[in-house]
Structure 1
């Protein structure tokens, strides 16, 4: 599947850099996104080491690595951070990640952390370039302790990391979720097991509901649009997950996903 432009105006684009093929990552499509404003760009969750050359190839359709003004990491997992050392060599972009992961990331073979910016727990507004601003939104414990989302106020797209991620069947390549009820079987098990608790989910939904969201763009699976956006938020607000489902140490309610 080719790259998908989720939003485009004269000076601004939000693009899904669709480098993955069906079957990669055990059937889970890994999404990398480019937010481009004029000659400047921001790369969201650049991906693991193995996909880096293909992500770069797709990026070059729009901008060169020297035009990257920021790289933003939703959390610390290797499918997000594994290729970061090469991106640091190719660009001069600062890298934004939750401050709690700054001590962890050197284990990815990084020789210096001087270009990393620790995002505070409450999030922050990031002025990438004049007239180009992105909001970094806290999403703690969903699933990472230091999860952050990125909201683009121009396209009104919310990049949510693993929130909304789907475990799609191999060979399924629909880029959008329009019918949330039909999509639910592909997200329910993952969210019930990997998200920490209903309290964390509810607080996040309350926070992002103040935003004007046209699309929810997760790190795995298709992008939510139209009626699927409020439907997902309503479902996630009420979801029992993580520690809500524990009945004893190492045991969850019968029938819960493992």
Structure 2
């Protein structure tokens, strides 16, 4: 049975939700699922913006056929060739053999890599700034390479001032009937998942996102239709400002994230005591993660959120605790910058963690490493409390 929503007089959301998926890209946990958005324009000629993942294939095809209501599908615009948005092109070709596919020069080689169907006579290749008229609507194409694949582009409907933004401005989490941002409490219920999506999927490509934001600033955008998550039809500055901050690698909030690893509780105890010291110094915005129980995608999300990060870890096999090492590698790979880092280390016979973590942080771009790191042997003792308190005072002064 079809399940779609009207976006404007001529435009329909024909996507669907996957609440059974466990891992996005087989990496990122999705406890609240994800939506796959696709949009169908009914004009003199019909235009579909992207398809969806096989997981919702039956629902998607029913939605498209129901909205078309016997009409032919004339065009598919492929803004992004990642399989969660293009898997059903072949299915549509079976139902609508006369459909033509609109993409850029990098789109069609990827289609040939993923699929085996014959594209002869079915392709329209466009480039930056080209326009296409479907009747009442004029579509303009905007290249957005590496946001977050090289072929990625966006489509701007000049008539209704809608930006079809591909993976930009998307978020993890399935839609619960409410399609539009003003039908839900985004700040309360969606922001964390939007940040986790951006920082882990797109975070590495900040300069490219900045380029797209500059292009977008020249357009009169009244609505943003992303490929995941809610459609933005009000308060667009909210999500645009978030993307501007994230892509400049600037902290969203003044606060302290404490990420600790602990085998027998002693490193955890040191982290807990530091947290209390920070609280007593007046810091209210403190967030703690036991990295052995927190997926690294959440650690990355909060690393982008907070201005100050405390890394606490025991030494392991004369090196960095493996989960901490993995987190540090992700921070570096995703180009996290402009943070202040403090390090707490532990070790019973060869305490190397503080030195090794500090060395890894020093390899990252534009990171400020506090010199007042603290190293303990096995457990924190009274004699080192002032050392820890001195670190807490420095952090508190900077945050407050």
> Is the Cα–Cα contact under 8 Å of residues 14 and 155 in structure 1 kept in the other structure?
no
> Is the Cα–Cα contact under 8 Å of residues 100 and 146 in structure 1 kept in the other structure?
yes
Select which of 70, 82, 95 maps to 1:90.
Answer: 95
What CA distance in whole angstroms lies between the structure 2 residues aligned with 1:226 and 1:30?
21
What CA distance in whole angstroms lies between the structure 1 residues aligned with 2:175 and 2:112?
36
What CA distance in whole angstroms lies between the structure 2 residues aligned with 1:131 and 1:175?
25
Change (3 A) 1:203 1:171: closer
Between structures 1 and 2, the one with greater strand share: 1
Do residues 30 (structure 1) and 30 (structure 2) align? no
Partner of 1:194: 201
Do residues 253 (structure 1) and 259 (structure 2) align? no
> Is the Cα–Cα contact under 8 Å of residues 15 and 52 in structure 2 kept in the other structure?
no
Between structures 1 and 2, the one with greater helix share: 2
Select which of 5, 13, 16 maps to 1:16.
Answer: 13
> Is the Cα–Cα contact under 8 Å of residues 175 and 229 in structure 2 kept in the other structure?
no
1:52 positional shift: 3.2
CA RMSD, aligned part only?
Answer: 2.9
> Is the Cα–Cα contact under 8 Å of residues 22 and 171 in structure 1 kept in the other structure?
no
Do residues 236 (structure 1) and 255 (structure 2) align? no
Change (3 A) 1:171 1:72: closer
TM-score of the superposition, structure 2-length normalised? 0.55
> Is the Cα–Cα contact under 8 Å of residues 18 and 56 in structure 2 kept in the other structure?
no
Partner of 2:53: 48
Greater mean alpha carbon deviation, residues 53-62 or residues 159-168: 53-62
1:143 positional shift: 1.0
What CA distance in whole angstroms lies between the structure 1 residues aligned with 2:226 and 2:246?
18
Question: Relative contact order, CA 8 A, sep 6+: which one is greater?
Answer: 1
What CA distance in whole angstroms lies between the structure 1 residues aligned with 2:48 and 2:206?
30
The C-alpha deviation readout for 1:163-206, integer Å capped at 9, x for no partner, is 111112x6844322235533321211221122242211111111
Kindly name which structure, 1 or 2, has the bigger radius of gyration based on alpha carbons: 2
Give 3-state SS (helix, strand or coil) of 2:102's partner. strand
> Is the Cα–Cα contact under 8 Å of residues 74 and 148 in structure 1 kept in the other structure?
yes
What CA distance in whole angstroms lies between the structure 2 residues aligned with 1:61 and 1:86?
15
Partner of 2:163: 158
Give 3-state SS (helix, strand or coil) of 2:75's partner. strand
How many positions carry a matched residue from both structures?
Answer: 243
What CA distance in whole angstroms lies between the structure 2 residues aligned with 1:226 and 1:119?
30
Do residues 177 (structure 1) and 181 (structure 2) align? yes
* Structure 1 residue runs without a partner (length 5+): none
TM-score of the superposition, structure 1-length normalised? 0.82
1:101 positional shift: 3.0
Superposition map of 1:101-250 within 5 A: 101-114=107-120, 115-120=122-127, 122-128=128-134, 130-168=135-173, 172-178=176-182, 180-182=186-188, 183-195=190-202, 196-227=204-235, 229-240=236-247
What CA distance in whole angstroms lies between the structure 2 residues aligned with 1:133 and 1:149?
14
What CA distance in whole angstroms lies between the structure 2 residues aligned with 1:110 and 1:223?
33
Superposition map of 1:61-76 within 5 A: 61-64=66-69, 67-76=72-81
